[in-house]
Chain A
Amino acid sequence: MPQLEALYTKYSVEGVKVILVDASNRRELTQKMIDDVAVTMPVLLDDKEISDKDYEVQATPTTFIIDAGGRVIFKHIGYGEGMETMFEKEINLLLQQA
């Protein structure tokens, strides 16, 4: 999550948004986690099962990168070392296309 926060800080000037969604809708635990890492990105609680119904999230974390045309260009399940580099590459690709 600190990596996503870093991406958010770096690319928000380019208009890139980063949104965290607690798929399990557990306010207290999520608040605790956020407090631990000082997050400024919007953190949402999925009280409408959109993770399941609209985004078909089968395991967390799952990350979606959506282009300016509203299309899901990239999806990644899980978290591996160096994923933020990959996310950054995708963001740059999309910013170049714009």
Chain B
Amino acid sequence: MKSGLWILFAVIVVAIIVGIALKNRVGPVEEADEIARLTEIDEIEDSEAKIAAYKVFIAESPESEFKPRAYSMISRELLRAVKDTARFVDFARETIETEDDAESKAYTYYYLYRVELETSVEAASLIGKELLEKPVEVGWIYNAIGYGFADRGEKLDLALAMCDKAIELADNRSDSASYIDSRGWVYYKKGMYEEAVTNLETSVALAEEPSEEVLQHLAYASLGAGDDDKAFDTFKRILVMGEYDYARASIDSLMDVRGYSAGEIAAFDRSLWDARLAAAQPAAAFDLPTLDGESYAFDPAGGTVVIINFLSPT
């Protein structure tokens, strides 16, 4: 759970990169040209030259939808390659001051928040407060910071305000589901289990395909609220998704409380496996080139266990 925020962030960054790559195939000429330029910049080895090139991109393409990515890459370069935090903070402050694009500001704020978090939670909370005082109309930044505090169990009132703001800004069902989950998790951390359950159930209902993480939140909140039956059903739902240790441990202890016999436990496991098979979708066959230019065909009827990992180099 501690790494949740980093995962979220990695997913956000990579989603942009994949988004760009996917657009690459269908986008108009101008977009394709911008992507080509960004890809070229990505491959520049020298940090200073790379940062300068991103700045040129931003100046020359003020309307580009890829501008947030350019800002994001400058921040990353300053923090990870140049390793000059003070210079990053100057860059971030200047961006927040001068840039009008909300998404670009949101990314900059996020890096700033991460940097402040390394100093102290107190310092990071000031970034949250600043965002509430000078709103940026982007929901995910409020959600990311709100959820981050919730996960740490700190600054929970601020976290609640951040989540409320995120929910207010959500403009689609999937974002609403995600932000309401965060608010539910804040309530859970505050020990307000009824409110937690209400929010988390709303989130689960809104999501087309609730994630294991949201269900995990709901299961724990239900336990907190004393609703063991709901907790049991939710942990079972998680186990249908995968053999998660915490869900297995919780189910085991709930079965223990209920006085399950060995036979009942075995029957539960069989029903679980049946449910997993029933939920499993057929995998699609494909034929793709390898890095060496050979052709590689995947046939789901091959009769073997296969792990497919979709990745995106950064």
Q: Which residues of A contact B (CB under 8 A)?
A: 1, 4, 7, 11, 14-34, 42-52, 54-55, 57-68, 70-81, 86-87, 89-91, 93-95, 97-98
Partner of B290, one of A11, A43, A65: A43
In the complex, which residues of chain B have a beta carbon less than 8 angstroms from the beta carbon of A52?
22
B96 at the A/B interface (Cβ < 8 Å)?
A: no
Contact between A65 and B284, CB atoms less than 8 A apart: no
Chain B: residues with CB nearer than 8 A to chain A?
A: 3-4, 7-8, 10-12, 14-15, 17-18, 20-22, 24-25, 39, 42-43, 211, 241-245, 273, 276-277, 280-284, 286, 288-291, 296, 298, 300-314
Give the distance to chain B from A97, nearest Cβ to Cβ, in Å: 8
B291 close to A45 (CB less than 8 A): yes
A-B contact list, 8 entries, CB within 8 Å: A18-B309, A43-B290, A45-B291, A61-B312, A64-B309, A67-B305, A76-B242, A80-B3
Closest chain-A Cβ to B276's Cβ sits at a distance in Å of: 6
How distant is the Cα of A27 from the Cα of B43 in the complex, in angstroms?
A: 12
A70, B75: Cα distance in complex, Å: 43
In angstroms, Cα B304 to Cα A76, docked, is 19
Told that A62-B310, A71-B282, A93-B243 touch, could you supply 4 new A-B pairs with CB distance under 8 A? A28-B43, A70-B301, A71-B277, A98-B305
CA distance in complex: A60, B12 (Å): 9
A-B pairs with lowest CB-CB distance, top 5: A70-B300, A24-B21, A54-B284, A71-B280, A29-B313
Contact B313 A43 (CB under 8 A): no
Measured in the bound complex, the distance between the Cα atoms of B22 and A31 in whole Å is 19
